[in-house]
């Protein structure tokens, strides 16, 4: 069944009207007609079954048949802070796959060795919306604006379970060895050239635990996805 993203739809509404863009997609691209049924997700846990009552290509009207709040809500909260790659396609790939697997928040962080200093959030959010619908989820991950590394650490020093994945030969633990199920996790993933020694020092001083994501040397987006997978796997 076709899924539409309707961020302004509340769980209390009995009827709804698609915006012009979604109406056109519904009636002219998908050729759905009056009486056809579709699913709606609002990105904040609402999952709806609706029936088309008017297939107007500019303002398709719907009747809400059933609704569920907190649809497939996760018992844990994963926040990954990752340095944006020079090739933005690689971060787009990470966001798509992480949304499908399960992630609640992403923060681009600008590090000393970052090759990219700016991130256009609007395009990235569209990719996440598409991935949310593809994976039958009702929660859209929160995507924050890019922040310098030090500013991000300062703002998130009080996070519950904090980890930093880096490549220096310092003593590091497996994530599973310092893991508590159904908690709030924050994991830092650095740029291709890794975090600087100073950045690692700042993170450790603020209570971040150093972890390893395996013996392979991973690209930034692969490391971030590996961290996402591990957290979801350990919370099964």
Q: What's 17's domain CATH number?
A: 2.40.240.20
Residue 120 sits in the same domain as residue 162: yes
Give the integer Cα–Cα distance in Å for 131 and 117: 25
Q: Where are the beta strands (DSSP E) in 83-128?
A: 105-110
Residue 228 sits in the same domain as residue 144: yes
Q: Tens digit of pLDDT for each residue in 64-102? A: 999 999 999 999 999 999 999 999 999 999 999 999 999
Q: Tens digit of pLDDT for each residue in 39-50? A: 999 999 999 999
Residue 41 sits in the same domain as residue 101: no
Domain limit, last residue, from 20, 41, 68: 68
Mean pLDDT of 161-179: 89
CA-nearest of 211, 218, 214 to 179 is 211
Q: Which are the contacts of 172, defined by CB distance < 8 A and separation ≥ 6?
A: 166, 210, 211, 212
Structural domain harbouring 161: 77-234
Residue 135 sits in the same domain as residue 172: yes
The neighbouring-strand residues paired with 110 are 148
Residue 122 sits in the same domain as residue 193: yes
Cβ atoms 133, 41 nearer than 8 A: yes
pLDDT at 14: 96
């Amino acid at each position: 069944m076709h899924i539409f993203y309707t961020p302004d739809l509340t769980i209390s509404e009995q009827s709804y009207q698609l915006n012009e863009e979604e109406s056109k997609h519904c009636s002219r691209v998908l050729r759905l007609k009056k009486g056809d049924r579709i699913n709606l997700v609002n990105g904040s846990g609402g999952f709806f079954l609706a029936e088309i009552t008017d297939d107007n290509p500019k303002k398709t009207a719907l009747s809400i048949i059933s609704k569920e709040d907190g649809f497939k809500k996760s018992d844990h909260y994963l926040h990954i802070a990752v340095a944006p790659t020079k090739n933005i396609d690689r971060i787009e790939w990470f966001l798509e796959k992480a949304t499908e697997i399960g992630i609640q928040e992403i923060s681009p962080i600008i590090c000393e060795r970052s090759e990219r200093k700016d991130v256009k959030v609007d395009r990235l959010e569209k990719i996440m919306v598409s991935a949310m619908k593809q994976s039958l989820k009702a929660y859209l991950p929160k995507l924050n604006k890019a922040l310098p590394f030090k500013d991000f650490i300062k703002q998130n020093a009080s996070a519950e379970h904090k980890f930093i994945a880096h490549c220096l030969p310092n003593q590091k633990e497996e994530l599973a060895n310092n893991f508590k199920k159904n908690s709030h996790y924050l994991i830092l993933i650095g740029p291709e050239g890794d975090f600087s020694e100073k950045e690692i020092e700042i993170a450790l001083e603020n209570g971040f635990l150093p972890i390893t994501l395996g013996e392979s040397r991973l690209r930034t987006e692969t490391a971030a996805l590996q961290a996402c997978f591990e957290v979801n796997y350990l919370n099964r």
